[in-house]
Structure 1
Amino acid sequence: MIREMKGLVVLFSLFLLNAAERQDLSGKMFTFPVESNTHHVVLSPETNKIFFAVTVCLRAFSDISRAQSLFSLSLPSTDNGFLIYKQKQGAYSVYVLGQSAEFWGLQDESNVWNSVCATWDASTGLAQLWVNGIPSSRKGIKAGSSLTGAPKIILGQEQDSYGGKFDTVQSFVGMLTDVHMWDFVLSPHQITYYTYGGMIQPGNVLKWNSLEFSRNGYVVIENKETSRKAGNG
């Protein structure tokens, strides 16, 4: 009987860990403490509309020098529907519907908070990356396209299939905070405000101050004050 009760407690604990929840995460962060091909957070968007424009902003803190995924959105039609992927320090890729644009010479650092915003406008195909308030060159990806279908949005892993097929060497290790997503392109002024902690309109697709999510595996929610305060954010 005692063994059965222990089993039920373990199963209930796992259910709580994986159950979707909504929280105001202002002043908090997701900590991904170890490399894995399992540990991740699933984000639930506010809308399932067709996207003709996207802005995603987040802050990342890591000491990993290898490539790692910062934000992975997959669609039924393609795994890399909208992906922000850090290749190495100062070098990033943005994928839209499986096609990538490479951005080089961006000013980021290890072991500090780095603010990253990625934008894409379907009407022109122009994508741009902002790191710590400094814009990249604009690059063209998938002009005239749209993001269609129910998105699966994951932090901590890069999706090589719709909602799965993770690879340890692409996993994020470190802390993420202030994740927002909009269905339009933020202005340079708004991105500057975000970078330096100013008040902006929260994301209308994902907003950190009212985020629905589920944690899977070893992911910890902590107060951001527990991290070393340096850099932007």
Structure 2
Amino acid sequence: MRLPVILFLTAISTVLAGSVPIQTLVFPSETSTSYVEMVPLKPINLKAFTLCMRVATELSGEREIILFAYRTQYYDELNVWRELDGRYSFALSGGSVVFSVPDLGAMQTHFCVTWDSSSGASALFMDGRKSLTKLYKKGHTIPPGGKVIIGQDPDSYLGEFDAKQSFVGEINDVNMWDSVLSDSTIKDMFSGKRVPRGNIFDWETIQLTTNGAVEVVNTEL
């Protein structure tokens, strides 16, 4: 059994040859054992959020893919999915809101999810382009006390993983805010401009624990 590896990702501020080195999580194959736990900067207790990441995967067809999972002891509090039919969704404590947007592929995509409890306004962004707005879970609060993982969907607290729902591909630049960022800020982020770093997850300083066959490699943003 491969032991977990704890990593601290530190930003390299110098731009070399027009690019910025960045740590990338590579999930090489379908498994029920490979995942990464992410430690938030503060307790997750949210009435709004923006979640962004850069993703590439060659998985296609009738295959669920978990992109992000936050679970407390008894409930899935925030899951982000590619559904069996190729649409994308996120779910807050049951039920989900589903979007028909372009599919992910082998070329990296900048992918964001936004949600605001005050109105229920929800949207996805793909490479800076915004989906239509849908209304979902107005008045809801995402509670603290859980764990966030990348790569698997936990049907119990950090357990009961299904390889057929696992992520295969690469993910980096995962950031999360406790507010809804403006459309222009998300476009700037996609294009590589500096924006305020996430106050829930900040990829430049994030603490990760890897499990299974996940590799951390240096790539360029």
Indicate the RMSD between aligned Cα atoms, in angstroms: 1.9
Q: Name the residue aligned to 1:36.
A: 31
- The structural deviation recorded for 1:19 is 4.7
Percent identity between the two aligned chains:
32
Match of 2:7, as an amino acid? Answer: E
- The structural deviation recorded for 1:145 is 1.2
- Distance in structure 1 (CA, Å) of the matches to 2:117 and 2:111: 20
Q: Name the residue aligned to 2:143.
A: 148
Match of 1:211, as an amino acid? Answer: I
Higher helix share: 1
- Distance in structure 1 (CA, Å) of the matches to 2:195 and 2:177: 12
Q: Name the residue aligned to 1:24.
A: 10
Q: Does 1:202 align with 2:188?
A: no
State the number of aligned residues.
210
After TM superposition, the structure 1 = structure 2 runs for residues 24-103 of structure 1, keeping only pairs within 5 Å, are 24=10, 27-65=22-60, 66-79=63-76, 81-87=77-83, 91-103=87-99
Deviations 1:31-78 (A, max 9, x none): 000101110000010111521111110011110002201111112351
Structure 1 runs, 4 residues or longer, greater than 3 Å off: none
Deviations 1:60-105 (A, max 9, x none): 11100022011111123512x111111268620111122200100x
Match of 1:72, as an amino acid? Answer: A
Match of 2:65, as an amino acid? Answer: Q
Deviations 1:3-56 (A, max 9, x none): xxxxxxx9xxx5xx4253322265120000010111000001011152111111
Output the TM-score relative to the length of structure 1.
0.84
Bigger Cα Rg:
1
- Distance in structure 2 (CA, Å) of the matches to 1:60 and 1:33: 14
5+ residue gaps, structure 2, are 12-20
The 8 Å contact of residues 55 and 104 in structure 2, kept in 1 or not, is answered as no
Deviations 1:176-221 (A, max 9, x none): 0100011111110111011111111111011110011100110101
The 10-residue stretch of structure 1 (153-162 or 86-95) with the greater mean CA deviation from structure 2: 86-95
Match of 1:92, as an amino acid? Answer: Y
Q: Name the residue aligned to 1:168.
A: 163
5+ residue gaps, structure 1, are 1-9, 226-232
